[in-house]
């Protein structure tokens, strides 16, 4: 596989996001939802779309699950392999290169109990790409299996207020334009589309039906506010508790930093 824009940020991704206060809280919110609504006592077979550095894959494997971790970036896949080796999880994590815009799912060895994608990997493809992906996933999923997709929606209240207060209306409403929007990734850029939860549900119907939509980062701010969060840990902790309440009630996912969309194979 050729060089990808995310290769340029792979070595710094954990430092910039994964290990940040905001990154830890948002990822914990996703894991908390999975623990309450998806995972049971039996190990699951998981297909991860856009695994990044393997943070979620290793977390799942540590809890007994078997993970096929996919990404378009060779450097991200290498880091995932390295984490699996470091934590003694190489037997539970298999990495596979996969282009979400035009996925070849024939070698993925399903069926999977859970299709999972975190923190906007699906924002790198357009709505037609979402529909194509859903079609390609049908043969590797079984009736009743779960799909949990965490995407950046077309509105984020934190982001809008932050940029409006700084006199930057174009940035404040950039998500509303949908896309494609050019987003800087290291020294490169990638085309980004912002998907409303409703658009994602439509793209996956009728083979997948909606189970729920919850916020990930409504009260907890986007990661670009990490310097502020680092100076205000108590406030950040209080905001995280607010997000926990909102998640339990399934409120405000469409205007949060990320929306968690839970689907079931029908």
Tell me if residue 249 falls in helix, strand or coil: helix
What pLDDT is attached to residue 135? Answer: 96
Mean pLDDT of 236-242: 97
Does residue 37 have a pLDDT over 80?
yes
* Residue 84 DSSP symbol: H
Mean residue pLDDT across the chain: 95
- Look at residue 40 in the predicted model and tell me its pLDDT: 93
Average pLDDT over residues 208-229: 97
3-state secondary structure of 264: strand
pLDDT of 44: 98
Matching CATH number, 5-154+194-265, of 3.40.50.2300, 3.40.50.150, 3.30.930.10, 2.60.120.620 = 3.40.50.150
The pLDDT of residue 1:
47
- The mean pLDDT of 239-264, rounded to a whole number, is 96
Helix (H, G, I), strand (E, B) or coil at 189: strand
Q: pTM of this prediction?
A: 0.96
pLDDT at 50 over 90: yes
Q: What average pLDDT does range 228-251 have in this prediction? A: 95
User: What tens digit of pLDDT does each residue of 122-146 get?
Assistant: 999 999 999 999 999 999 999 999 9
Domain segments of the chain: what residues?
A: 5-154+194-265
Q: What is the per-residue pLDDT for 4?
A: 79
pLDDT in tens, 174-190: 999 999 998 888 777 88
Alpha-helical segments (H) within 90-224: 127-137, 157-165, 169-172, 197-204
Which one-letter DSSP state was computed for residue 242? H
């Amino acid at each position: 596989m050729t060089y990808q824009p995310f290769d340029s940020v792979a070595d710094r991704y954990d430092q910039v996001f994964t290990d940040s206060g905001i990154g830890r809280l948002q990822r914990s919110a996703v894991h908390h939802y999975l623990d309450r609504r998806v995972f049971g006592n039996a190990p699951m077979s998981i297909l991860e779309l856009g695994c990044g550095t393997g943070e979620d894959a290793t977390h799942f494997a540590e809890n007994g699950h078997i993970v096929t971790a996919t990404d378009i970036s060779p450097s991200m896949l290498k880091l995932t392999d390295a984490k699996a080796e470091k934590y003694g999880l190489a037997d539970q994590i298999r990495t596979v290169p996969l282009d979400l815009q035009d996925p070849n799912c024939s070698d993925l060895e399903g069926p999977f109990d859970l299709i999972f994608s975190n923190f906007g990997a699906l924002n790198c493809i357009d709505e037609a790409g979402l529909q194509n992906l859903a079609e390609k996933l049908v043969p590797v999923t079984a009736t009743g299996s779960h799909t949990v997709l965490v995407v950046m929606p077309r509105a984020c209240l934190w982001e809008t207020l932050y940029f409006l207060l700084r006199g930057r209306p174009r940035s404040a409403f950039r998500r509303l334009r949908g896309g494609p929007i050019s987003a800087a990734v290291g020294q490169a850029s990638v085309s980004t589309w912002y998907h409303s939860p409703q658009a994602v549900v439509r793209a996956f119907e009728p083979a997948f039906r909606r189970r729920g939509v919850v916020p990930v980062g409504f009260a907890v701010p986007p990661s670009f506010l990490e310097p502020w969060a680092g100076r205000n840990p108590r406030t950040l902790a209080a905001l995280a508790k607010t997000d926990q309440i909102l998640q339990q009630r399934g409120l405000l996912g469409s205007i949060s930093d990320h929306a968690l969309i839970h689907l079931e194979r029908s």
